[in-house]
């Protein structure tokens, strides 16, 4: 271990990284207050010169996704509104959020900001062992979403050979991987499993595709799913976290123990869920609040991601000194109460990926009948299983679900190919309470 | 790292001068601007550890 993309910044002592980030934070704050309509308004009563110590950062209010939407609606210049930090003539590319939680946010990137994002992503790919010898296949639709555009350009910058796998169906992508002997991939965990499933239906063992390593994006990657992908392809599977608003800000190194924050590109705060005022201690759960420190086209300060993670150490066997996130637990919104019990869809994903290799796809639907919440777990089994075997899997799944979540559910077996497949963010949890 | 930082500043001066010299030539001016973009990134990834300046 001990190979770095930037041997200087990746091994600086944490205290020095904090000084650098504080200095970058102050620069960005002054820039945003002078150039972004959103922050001219938001920082009205705040003198940026009063931010003198690292602790003073907490005086700056959070930025929420709803505000980003509000400052774009009917605010000139179209379509970015008050979020722009630069002259619109200098915007060189358009991206947008997926709209999973509401109206999409349109994100302007200048050439400078985009290259800054790519530089940050180079750290993520390099940490995951991507090198010039890799031919990287990107099974992605190349559309308005940022996912994988960053991977594409960062892989190029590192020196990999990139194969853009857009405009192909899954079968076409399997054939292209084989034809070109691609040996690395990036994709949503769901879609990497779908590709493997498609390969199997074509009579091809995914292990023979030659994929040596893969990087997940766009969805949480529970450890059980990560291991399942590794076993399916006989490859090394890595994770990263990011979003359109924040950029990719943390990635997994070869030690595969948590995600390193890409410092000093990002100031990441992990704050206690209840008060959002204190940094949590190592091993504790915190809400991720993030500031991308060098992006000027779209300044975002103390963005409350609503994602919850476990704070890790700033030491690692790989030699990096950046802060780590040990586990991304999910979105604050995803953790809901069902029949009075706290429920996280990630628990069910962990269960299925670790104990039920026979289940090809699944979906969780929560409905309310009279006053009673009901969970239906729809599943598709491997088509090679007999009817008796499928029934046994369904019965066992219902029992294990009850043990893991303290909630009973109705398991429904669906015919092969019935449930939706996703190549971007999977939507396997559908809370229909209050929608009928 | 100091030597690297000094070199980045030298290139920045040259790129600024190139940009000014080529104000009537789109191609040269744009390429000089692109050099300046990468200099922004080079400065970002070579901060002074004590001050971040």
- Would you say A187 and A195 are in contact if contact means Cβ atoms under 8 Å apart? yes
Do A61 and A98 have their domain in common? yes
CB contact under 8 A, B47 and A22: no
In a domain, B50, yes or no: no
Structure tokens at A158: 């590192």
- Would you say A260 and A324 are in contact if contact means Cβ atoms under 8 Å apart? yes
Do A19 and A91 have their domain in common? yes
Do A221 and A245 have their domain in common? no
Min Cα separation A266/chain B (Å): 12
What is the chain A residue with the closest CA to B37? A112
CATH number for the domain that contains residue A166: 3.40.50.280
**Percent of residues, chain A, with pLDDT higher than 90:** 71
Per DSSP, the three-state class of A119 is: helix
Q: Does B49 touch chain A (CB under 8 A)?
A: yes
pLDDT band at A434 (very low <50, low <70, confident <90, very high): low
Ramachandran area for residue A147 (φ above 0: left; ψ -120 to 50: alpha; else beta) = beta
Report the distance separating Cα A289 and Cα A305, nearest Å: 6
- Would you say A234 and A212 are in contact if contact means Cβ atoms under 8 Å apart? no
Do A278 and A292 have their domain in common? yes
Cis-peptide, bond into residue A234, ω within 30° of zero: no
Number of domains in chain B: 1
Render A330-390 in DSSP notation, one character per residue.
Answer: EEGGG-EEETTEEE-HHHHHHHHHHH-TTEEEEEEEEEEETTEEEEEEEEEE-TTS-HHHH
**What's the whole-number mean pLDDT along residues A318-346?**
80
Residue with tokens 């990719």: A248
Do A266 and A179 have their domain in common? no
In a domain, B49, yes or no: no
Q: What ipTM was predicted for this assembly?
A: 0.94
CB contact under 8 A, B40 and A112: yes
pLDDT for residue A424:
66
**What's the whole-number mean pLDDT along residues A378-404?**
92
Interface of A with B in 291-330 (CB under 8 A): 294
Q: Does B27 touch chain A (CB under 8 A)?
A: no
Taking 90 as the threshold, does the pLDDT of residue A354 lie above it? no
The domain in which residue B7 lies consists of 2-44
Taking 90 as the threshold, does the pLDDT of residue A407 lie above it? no
**What is the strand order of the sheet A240-243 is part of?**
A240-243, A247-252, A259-261, A324-331, A303-311, A285-292, A266-271
CB contact under 8 A, B51 and A9: no
* Segment A182-199, tens digit of pLDDT: 999 999 888 999 999 999
* Segment B1-53, tens digit of pLDDT: 899 999 999 999 999 999 999 999 999 999 999 999 999 999 999 998 665 54
pTM of the model: 0.86
Do A175 and A37 have their domain in common? no
pLDDT for residue A288:
96
Interface of A with B in 241-300 (CB under 8 A): 264-265, 294
CB contact under 8 A, A16 and B49: yes
Higher pLDDT, A330 or A296: A296
pLDDT for residue A128:
97
Ramachandran area for residue A117 (φ above 0: left; ψ -120 to 50: alpha; else beta) = alpha
Residue with tokens 């290259």: A115
Interface of A with B in 19-48 (CB under 8 A): 19-24
Taking 80 as the threshold, does the pLDDT of residue A335 lie above it? no
CB contact under 8 A, B45 and A6: yes
**What's the whole-number mean pLDDT along residues A136-160?**
93
* Segment A52-108, tens digit of pLDDT: 999 999 999 999 999 999 999 989 999 999 999 999 999 999 999 877 667 899 999
pLDDT for residue A2:
57
Report the distance separating Cα A105 and Cα A103, nearest Å: 7
Taking 90 as the threshold, does the pLDDT of residue A429 lie above it? no
Min Cα separation B49/chain A (Å): 5
CB contact under 8 A, A116 and B49: no
Mean of all residue pLDDT scores within chain A: 91
């Amino acid at each position: 271990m001990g190979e770095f993309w930037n041997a200087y910044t990746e091994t600086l002592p944490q205290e020095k990284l904090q000084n650098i980030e504080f200095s970058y934070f102050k620069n960005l704050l002054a820039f945003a207050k002078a150039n972004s309509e959103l922050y001219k308004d938001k920082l009205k009563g705040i003198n940026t010169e009063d931010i003198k110590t690292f602790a003073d950062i907490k005086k700056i209010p959070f930025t929420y996704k709803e505000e980003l939407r509000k400052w774009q609606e009917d605010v000139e210049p179209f379509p970015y509104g008050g979020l722009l930090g630069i002259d619109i003539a200098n915007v060189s590319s358009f991206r947008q959020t997926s709209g999973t939680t509401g109206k999409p946010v349109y994100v302007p990137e200048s050439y400078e900001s985009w290259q800054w994002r790519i530089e940050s992503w180079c750290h993520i790919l390099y940490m995951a062992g991507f090198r010039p010898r890799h031919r990287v296949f990107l099974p992605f639709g190349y559309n308005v979403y940022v996912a994988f555009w960053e991977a594409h350009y960062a892989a190029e910058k590192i020196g990999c050979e990139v194969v853009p796998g857009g405009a192909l169906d899954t079968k076409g992508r399997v054939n292209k991987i084989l034809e070109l002997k691609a040996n690395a991939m990036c994709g949503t965990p769901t879609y990497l499993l779908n590709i493997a499933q498609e390969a199997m239906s074509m009579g091809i063992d995914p292990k023979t595709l030659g994929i040596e390593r893969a990087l997940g994006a766009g969805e949480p990657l529970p450890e059980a799913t990560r291991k399942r992908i590794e076993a399916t392809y006989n490859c090394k599977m890595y994770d990263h976290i990011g979003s359109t608003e924040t950029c990719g800000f943390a990635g997994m190194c070869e030690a595969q123990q948590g995600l390193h924050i890409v410092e000093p590109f990002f100031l990441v705060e992990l704050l206690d869920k209840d008060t959002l005022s204190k940094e949590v201690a190592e091993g504790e759960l915190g809400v991720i609040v993030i500031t991308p420190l060098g992006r000027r086209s779209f300044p975002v300060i103390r963005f409350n991601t609503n994602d919850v993670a476990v704070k890790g150490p700033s030491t690692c066997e790989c030699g990096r000194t950046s802060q780590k996130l040990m586990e991304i637990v999910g979105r604050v919104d995803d953790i809901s109460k069902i029949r009075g019990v706290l429920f996280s869809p990630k628990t069910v994903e962990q269960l299925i990926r670790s104990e039920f290799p026979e289940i090809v796809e699944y979906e969780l639907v929560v409905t309310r009948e009279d006053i009673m919440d009901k969970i239906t777990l729809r599943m598709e089994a491997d088509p090679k299983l007999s009817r008796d075997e499928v029934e046994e899997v369904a019965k066992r799944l219902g029992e294990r679900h009850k043990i893991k979540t303290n909630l009973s559910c109705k398991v429904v077996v669906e015919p092969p190919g019935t449930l939706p497949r996703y190549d971007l963010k999977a939507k396997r949890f559908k809370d229909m309470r209050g929608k009928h | 790292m100091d030597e690297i930082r000094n070199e980045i500043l030298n290139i920045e001066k040259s790129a600024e001068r190139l940009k000014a010299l080529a104000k009537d030539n789109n191609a040269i001016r744009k390429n000089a601007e692109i050099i300046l973009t990468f200099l922004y990134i080079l400065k970002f990834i070579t901060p002074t550890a004590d001050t971040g300046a």
